[in-house]
Chains A and B, each alone.
Chain A
Amino acid sequence: MYEIVSKKKINEQVEMMEIKAPFVARRCEPGQFVILRVTETGERIPLTIADYDREKETVSIIYQVVGKTTQMLSGMEAGESLLDFVGPLGKASDLKPHKRVLGIGGGVGAAPLYPQIKKLHEMGVAVDMILGGRSAEYVILEDMFKEVSDNVYFATNDGSKGIQGFVTDVLKTLLVEGNTYDEVIAIGPLIMMKAVVEITKPLGIKTAVSLNPIMIDGTGMCGGCRVTVGGETKFACVDGPDFDGFQVDFDECMLRQTFYKEKEAHACRLDQQKPE
């Protein structure tokens, strides 16, 4: 069992938990994730390691409440325990000692981006950040990012924080103003990452993205997480989750993510009874 050491609400839909998990905390690096299960009948869901403390043997997760499992998480409190918590999974991000990097976080995508930006900052890399969300409420981790970045820009759909528009609008402005970056790291909804790449690719600005396909085991055993990168099939859980954005087939990823949409909605609505 994996104890919830602390829990915090970040906004209406996003929460953060610190979990006691000695095996994960011992070896994890930025870019890696865990898979957890809340109850005996529960699903295994992947969440990025947002932060970790090797001494306290804890790791932090930040999740958006979107469906059944994240709702169950949301219903738990510090002191209770998760049934299963396995990791660290996936490859650590390949963080290079660049001069200047631009991070782009859309919605809850800011969470998986944070440990990477923090590490880059520690490596002495200059970082600019764009944070986006539906409205001011959904822009998360602002203070944490401010501590590790030179500039933080904002974009919201309704203009309640930063410019009214998308993170890509800020990206365009920054580039037009003559800012140069050695690399862009974009994490958020697939549609956002695709839009970012559509801008950076023609300009040849190297862009890393983090993919979040549906997963089960997270060890390369099921192949459910397969994605097409550079024309080849890769397993996101072991070959990723970070990939070269120029090579990713985003349209395929988007289709694959919807495979269980109907059933997921069903699981969320139904009051489940044990079958005969």
Chain B
Amino acid sequence: MANMSLHKVKMKEVDPVVRSGNFEEVAMGYTLEEAMEEATRCLQCKHKPCVSGCPVNVRIPEFIEALAAGDIETAYQVLTSENKLPAICGRVCPQEKQCEERCVRAIKGEPVGVGRLERFVADYYMEHFNGKQEKATTNGIKVAVVGSGPASITCAGELAAKGYEVTMFEALHELGGVLVYGIPEFRLPKDLVKKEIQKVLDLGVQVHKNVIVGKSITVEDLVEDGFKSIFIGSGAGLPRFMNIEGENLNGVYSANEFLTRVNLMKAYQFPYTNTPVNAGDKVAVVGGGNVAMDAARTAKRLGASEVHIVYRRSEEELPARLEEVHHAKEEGILFDLLTNPVSIQGENGHVAGMTCIRMKLGEPDESGRRSPVEDPGSEFSMPMDTVVIAIGQTPNPLIKNTTVGLSVNRKGCIVVDEESMETSLENVYAGGDVVTGAATVILAMGAGKKAAEAIHAKLTQQTQE
């Protein structure tokens, strides 16, 4: 008999007061008993609506069934047959808009905690089993993968498992893309990201860090060097600014810079680590997505006493994961909704305040969301030390600018054939944020997997000819 509780088994979290003073992970995960109990809430639906909500079609009821029976090894095998980075996805997928949204249990009560169970299985497996990956026998065909975010990691792993000689080129000194420089430690521990990535690399991927495609080497060079296919997963790393007065004052950060200093360069351990960050005491974060929540909660942990989220639409439109908004509120982040910055004021070259205007919701725009319009005469100013701008990112143009014949759209996103992920250049593929603009980890992984399949199909055909 299934467990008919309307609520998910509670997951322990660190107390908001304690956690907003450190960078430890907030959600503590299930114990084996808790996970097995939550697993029994799944009804094992024959038509599996949850699976169609997952961008990579994780075999959800099957892995949960194995988990409910306490067979973690099988659960893990089932899970990773579709998703190579489960410990990560279990933590950062917007489940409420994907698998869990379709769960039949959500019709009355809370859905099955698919994400939490996924996380549990991955964590438990890594801790207790640590199965070594088998390297496939190589087929001698060289493939290059650009970037090391979820799209590239997935693509590289899939191809290496099929025997390709995969070489990965990453611009930064760490692998993982946004997983290491963007998403903070308290939400996604970096040791865990390292382990998940290492498992994929163990399949036989060669890595060159500190190599920027378009600068250190070009796509053309890669072709010349004998790479038969090239996958570009360079993400959407270019920060947008607002183009308002005062944006170049000291104390104005892009979210990318703020988060990179803290996550990649570990500025929260300064001066043990040598990269500084100045969070200040009063911080405004402009934007309403995951990036904004991460920046706000980071500022709090760096010691800011007052942190505001300044967002131009209403709560309903906040694009961030539900859990992040919830956690941010618990930690005392203030939400200034229907509010938009107009200018930033400075003193001696440093931020001293920000002037904002109130907004009202008007007609729905092309995204289907009601577009905000200014309420004339409602300007007001707030004293501030720091302003973090988190209003979105677009793809970095470095590769486009150095690759003749590579088509991009108006927003600078690489144009691909949606079935094969092949770009306007033959044997050059792309996927993830560089194609879609800033999206999600799981969509990037789905794209990397799709491209790997297409690359394999085409190279198989080409070598047979």
Contacts and interface: CB of A to CB of B under 8 A. Distances in A.
Contacts of A252: 248, 349
A272 B211 CA distance: 30
A259 B273 CA distance: 18
B298 to A, nearest CB: 15
Given A84-B173, A89-B215, A260-B276, A224 B237 contact: no
Which of A69, A226, A252 has its CB near the most chain B CB atoms (within 10 A)? Answer: A226
A41 B270 CA distance: 9
Contacts of A255: 250, 348-349
A217 interface: yes
Interface stretch (B255-263, B304-312, B321-329): B255-263
A23 B212 CA distance: 9
Contacts of A267: 270-271, 274, 276
Contacts of A220: 237-238, 396-398
Interface string A2-40: 000000000000000000000110110000000001000
Contacts of A24: 216
A220 B256 CA distance: 10
Interface residues on A, range: 35 or more
A217 B172 contact: yes
Given A23-B211, A221-B238, A238-B398, A263 B278 contact: yes
Given A23-B208, A217-B260, A233-B241, A88 B216 contact: yes
A219 B265 contact: no
B272 interface: yes
Given A84-B210, A221-B256, A224-B257, A263 B215 contact: no
B173 A83 contact: yes
A266 B266 CA distance: 16
Q: Is the interface of B mostly helix, strand, loop or mixed?
A: loop
Contacts of A89: 212, 215
Contact of B278 (A69, A217, A219, A259): A259
Interface string B225-263: 000000000000111010100011011011011001100
A220, A222, A263, A267 — most chain B CB neighbours (10 Å): A222
B45 to A, nearest CB: 43
Nearest to A86: B210
Contacts of A112: none
A173 interface: no
Given A84-B210, A267-B270, A216 B173 contact: no
Interface string A74-108: 00000000011111110000000000000000000
Query: Secondary structure of the A side of the interface?
Result: mixed
A42 B241 contact: no
B407 interface: no
A226 B256 CA distance: 13
Contacts of B215: 27, 87-89, 219
B248 A226 contact: yes
Contacts of B269: 41, 274-275
A176 interface: no
B254 A223 contact: yes
A227 B247 CA distance: 11
B392 to A, nearest CB: 13
B372 to A, nearest CB: 24
Residue in A68, A217, A258, A275 with the greatest tally of chain B CB atoms within 10 Å = A217
Interface in B336-393: 348-349
A23 B257 CA distance: 26
A150 interface: no
Contacts of B349: 252, 255-256, 258
Given A216-B257, A216-B261, A86 B212 contact: yes
Interface string B275-286: 110100000000
Contact of A256 (B250, B272, B278): B250
A191 B248 CA distance: 19
A259 B272 contact: no
Contacts of B454: none
A66 interface: no
Nearest to A24: B216
Interface in A52-78: 68-69
Interface of A: 23-24, 26-27, 37, 41-44, 68-69, 83-89, 216-217, 219-224, 226-228, 233, 238, 252, 255-256, 258-260, 263-264, 266-267, 270, 272-275
The 10 A-B residue pairs with the shortest CB-CB distance in the complex, in nearest-first order: A255-B349, A222-B257, A263-B276, A86-B210, A43-B274, A223-B254, A23-B216, A84-B173, A221-B237, A259-B250
Interface of B: 171-173, 208-212, 215-217, 237-239, 241, 243, 247-248, 250-251, 253-254, 256-257, 260-261, 265-266, 269-276, 278, 348-349, 396-398
18 contacts: A23-B211, A23-B216, A27-B215, A42-B274, A84-B210, A86-B171, A86-B212, A217-B171, A220-B238, A221-B237, A221-B238, A222-B260, A223-B241, A226-B248, A233-B248, A256-B248, A263-B278, A266-B271
Given A86-B210, A275-B269, 10 more contacts: A44-B265, A86-B211, A87-B212, A89-B215, A219-B215, A219-B398, A221-B237, A259-B250, A263-B276, A275-B272
